[in-house]
Structure 1
Amino acid sequence: MRVFVAGGTGALGRRLVPQFVARGHQVTATTTSAAKLGLLEQLGARGVVMDGLDGMAVGEAVAAARPDAIVHEMTAISGKADMRHPDRTFATTNRLRIEGTDHLLAAAEAAGVPHVVVQSFAQSYGPGTGLLTEEDPLDPGTGAMARRVSAGVLHIQDVVAKAGGTVLRYGGFYGPGASDDVVEFVRKRKFPLVGDGTGWNSWVHLDDAASATVLVVEKQARGVFNIVDDEPAQVRDWLPYLAACAGAKPPMRVPRWLARLLAGEFAVTLMTEGRGFSNARARRELGWEPRYPSWRQGFKEELA
């Protein structure tokens, strides 16, 4: 197949492009920097400089590539995370998830591309118990900041399904290039356990996220898929374990009221609310078998 990967030099794109190439697909991958074209060539792709927020540039790049499928992996999260103002950290990424998604869908329609796959995120703060399946919509909860941070994934949830595309709700990425900042914060004891640490997270290693994405494209699977490992975990379980794997001291404990003063509303929400996600559909319909079915094994092998 001819595959167009928008965002080929990001943390996931660097793992995804080689997997497509290894399975015999012809890959065109984009970057925003001409300096990274050499990297894409090394990964086995034809590199193209493209601004995902420029609708004309997106349309021209897709038309030239004539792909059988488009995979949207464009993000723009760089620098240190600002927990008091996470909406600023995610501002450009949200634009790529809103405007960039719209541009890619329009380009696909114009060029007759039959399949568009779009990156989303497995995080939901609405009420309820049990694991979330693909039938459950993402819910950012009632917090104003969480809703601003989630604007992009909420847009994807709406427009991609209507266009007949595929939404991949990836768990929290870990692995080289994806979790370095978190590990650094933990080692410096700047990542405390807030309250009882009752918020749930679903994780996935970068290579496992990439392998699931390749299967989605090859099988032309449609709809929504939760791309997460087998073991959703509360912060009070995974954070001390990560610290131990990284050779750090156990995280400090901070009450909710103090964390709200120091880091803001979203940090407290992130650490104390949310639900885990089920990967049953991805395993069943894609035949996906993650290399790391549990973050426990993955953290131990990858983050030490």
Structure 2
Amino acid sequence: MRICLAGATGVIGRRLVPLLVAEGHQVTALTRRPDRFATLRAAGAEPVVADAFDRAGLAAAVAQAAPDVVVHQLTDLSADDHGANAALRTEGTRHLVDAALAAGARRMVAQSISWVYQAGDDPADESTPLDLSAQGERARRVLSVAALEEAVAELPEWVVLRYGMLYGPGTWYAPDGGIADQARAGRLTADDQVTSFLHVDDAAAAAVQALTWPNGAVNICDDDPAPGREWVPAFCAAVGAPPPPQAPPGRPGWSRGANNTHARKNLAWTPKHPSWRDGFRTMTTPPE
């Protein structure tokens, strides 16, 4: 297939390029960074400069790719700016969907997140509504995800991957990432909030498999949703941080984790890292 990959130099995108090429696909890799061209070409892709906020430029880049499928892995998290990432989910996705439709693409596979569901006691499955009544900063995040998913569903064929919290090399949860820095500074507390994790390699593999999945949203996370009182001490130990401070009891109702049964049973997706408990132990602390 002819695939246009938006976000080709991001933490998932740079893993996706060689996987897609190995499957025999022709990959056009969109990036804002011309300095990444050599790396993308070495991986087997044809790089093209494109900015998701430049509607006309993005449309031209996607038209040039003439894709069967557009893979949306756009994020803007390098500066820990959630507002910028929300804007990319809304405006950037709108531009990408319009470009895909104009270019005649039949399918889009897009990155979303799995911690925007309504409150509940158990890990959420895909039938759980999004938390559209959220307040404050969470409202901006949830509404941006809702806008992304609604736009992607305009394609004739579409899959939204609701990823768990990414960990592994290049993520915030790597030993050299921002969350590890917080842990070593004693600012990461162990609390009752439940998180579903996902190794970044499993995220990339799911995006490849989703090229042939039926339409819909899919939770892509490991098998082991866990409260911070369990995972935070393990993470601290893995990244060379001291034991974390303990937060008071209680959790927001929306902090419930996600259920991956649909992906496992109906789509034959199996994570190579079924639990963060083993995944964290594979991480190595960077030298001082």
TM-score greater than 0.5 by the shorter chain: yes
Aligned CA-pair RMSD: 2.0
204, 214, 219: which one aligns with 1:221: 214
- Pairwise mapping of residues 143-292 of structure 1 onto structure 2 (< 5 A)? 143-164=135-156, 165-178=158-171, 179=173, 180-193=177-190, 197-217=191-211, 219-255=212-248, 273-292=254-273
1:303 CA drift (Å):
4.8
Deviations 1:153-192 (A, max 9, x none): 1212333235442211011011111021112221222212
d(CA) in 2 for partners of 1:51, 1:202: 31
Unaligned runs of at least 5 residues, structure 1:
82-88, 257-267
Number of residue pairs aligned between Structure 1 and Structure 2: 280
Deviations 1:113-170 (A, max 9, x none): 1001111111036321212111112216533111123332121233323544221101
Q: Is the 8 A contact 2:110 2:159 kept in 1?
A: yes
Question: Secondary structure in 2 aligned to 1:215?
Answer: helix
d(CA) in 1 for partners of 2:133, 2:199: 26
| Matching residue of 1:84 | none
d(CA) in 2 for partners of 1:293, 1:146: 28
Q: Is the 8 A contact 2:107 2:155 kept in 1?
A: no
Q: Is the 8 A contact 2:161 2:219 kept in 1?
A: yes
Q: Is the 8 A contact 1:124 1:141 kept in 2?
A: no
d(CA) in 2 for partners of 1:104, 1:243: 39
Aligned-pair identity in percent equals: 40
TM-score scaled by structure 1? 0.86
Q: Is the 8 A contact 2:117 2:124 kept in 1?
A: no
| Matching residue of 1:260 | none
- Indicate how the Cα distance of structure 1 residues 251 and 232 shifts in structure 2: closer, same or farther if over 3 A, else same: same
| Matching residue of 1:35 | 35
2:46 is aligned with 1:54: no
Deviations 1:191-238 (A, max 9, x none): 123xxx111111101110000110001x14311111101111111111
TM-score scaled by structure 2? 0.91
Unaligned runs of at least 5 residues, structure 2:
none
d(CA) in 2 for partners of 1:104, 1:147: 23
d(CA) in 2 for partners of 1:57, 1:278: 39
Q: Is the 8 A contact 1:230 1:293 kept in 2?
A: yes
- Indicate how the Cα distance of structure 1 residues 303 and 225 shifts in structure 2: closer, same or farther if over 3 A, else same: farther
What letter matches 1:296 in structure 2?
R
Question: Secondary structure in 2 aligned to 1:118?
Answer: strand
Question: Secondary structure in 2 aligned to 1:208?
Answer: helix
Deviations 1:234-256 (A, max 9, x none): 11111011111222211113458
What letter matches 1:212 in structure 2?
A
Q: Is the 8 A contact 2:106 2:155 kept in 1?
A: no
Deviations 1:35-60 (A, max 9, x none): 12122122221111100111111111
2:133 is aligned with 1:133: no
d(CA) in 2 for partners of 1:227, 1:142: 23
Question: Secondary structure in 2 aligned to 1:247?
Answer: coil
What letter matches 1:281 in structure 2?
H
- Indicate how the Cα distance of structure 1 residues 303 and 158 shifts in structure 2: closer, same or farther if over 3 A, else same: farther
Q: Is the 8 A contact 1:52 1:103 kept in 2?
A: yes
